[in-house]
Amino acid sequence: MRIPAVLVAVITTILFAGCEHREGGHTTNPVVAVIPKGTSHEFWKTVHAGANEAGSKNDLEIIWKGPAREDDRDEQIKVVETFVARGVDAIVIAPLDDTALVPSLKEASGRGIPVIVFDSDIKWDGKTTFVATDNTRGGELAAREVGRLLDGKGRILVMRYVEGSASTMKREKGFLDTIASEYPGIEVVSSNQHGGATVEGCYKTAENLLAKYPDVDAVFGPCEPATFGLMKAIDDIDKEGTILLVGFDASDKLVEGLRDGKIAALVVQNPFAMGDLAVTAARSTIDGDDVPEFMDTGCTLITLENMDEPGNKELLNPPLDKWLNTK
């Protein structure tokens, strides 16, 4: 019995397509799951752009998925478990809790899926590498700027972020330790209040803190939502410039606040490089190459005076449009 030529062509196409996939339905490009702490803040959008750039230059399929809120531990665990069950080639994750994610990531590693941790560390030595800012140093930079601006004297407060977030906890500790050891003339009137994972929660906490301590000279916010919440609360009581704000991270609104004098300084990370390096490390690991245990993506103190310098301008304006449109 002769098979029609058209049918032969169809069968050949199907067989050839089958050769383009590995077991489990993956394309010939390795699949890397990138799991941020959340997906709403500008910081994570910049990480996403860097991850997409690395995926493009390293022939990887990038799947970006994370919880909407940065306090939804259960949702992040579910995302990890879904990718483990799928059998992706590597997991790149910013754990929103330094202990809660350990069992799921151990499961991934046990199934031969390498785990690259970025942004915020985890209490587990099974990760391939840790790609992040030196967060303690970032807190120290912020403290020294506060000390300089206040000439070593005054009253300040710190609004913390979320309990269990290793990155911000290190910034807070670096800040408070530096103030205590280097600036005995500065009094910390409050350092035990958490703003929470949303801008709304941070704003409400900032309002309450400023109502309780209206005569503070400076405040410190250890991340984007905390900094924005403090900026808005200070603006509401018309004390911008009177209460000095030193914050962490950059977004369009924070950069605008810096230029308008509502923010005295920002410690800015490099989230684009963070996404790029973490995904590139995943490619190296898949290929069997060694990677360092820790990769520092750096941080920079940016003020109104230096914000338009070329390197700082690039940090404040990463190429989001190009890489967030990349599949």
Whether the pLDDT of residue 40 is over 90: the answer is: no
Mean pLDDT of the chain: 91
Average pLDDT score over residue span 245-262: 96
Could you tell me where the beta strands, DSSP code E, fall in the chain?
A: 31-35, 61-64, 90-93, 115-118, 129-132, 154-160, 186-194, 218-220, 244-248, 265-269, 294-296, 299-302
Structure tokens at 246: 């030193």
Q: Where are the domains of the chain?
A: 24-132+271-296, 135-269
Average pLDDT score over residue span 90-107: 96
Question: Given this model, what pLDDT does residue 16 score?
Answer: 34
Whether the pLDDT of residue 287 is over 50: the answer is: yes
Q: How far apart are CA 124 and CA 300, in angstroms?
A: 28
- Flag the least confident range among 37-46, 190-199, 275-284, 295-304: 37-46
Average pLDDT score over residue span 266-284: 97
- Give phi and psi for 121, each to the nearest 5: -75, 170
May I ask the CATH class of domain 24-132+271-296?
alpha beta
Whether the pLDDT of residue 95 is over 50: the answer is: yes
Q: How far apart are CA 186 and CA 202, in angstroms?
A: 24
Q: How far apart are CA 249 and CA 38, in angstroms?
A: 15
Question: Given this model, what pLDDT does residue 272 score?
Answer: 95
**Considering the domain 135-269 in this protein, what is its CATH number?**
3.40.50.2300
Q: What is the pTM of this model?
A: 0.83
For 268-318, the DSSP string reads: EE-HHHHHHHHHHHHHHHHTT----SEEE--EEEE-TTTTTSHHHHHHHS-
**Contact between 35 and 83 (Cβ < 8 Å):** yes
Q: Could you report the per-residue pLDDT of 4-31, keeping only the tens digit for each?
A: 544 434 333 333 333 333 333 445 899 9
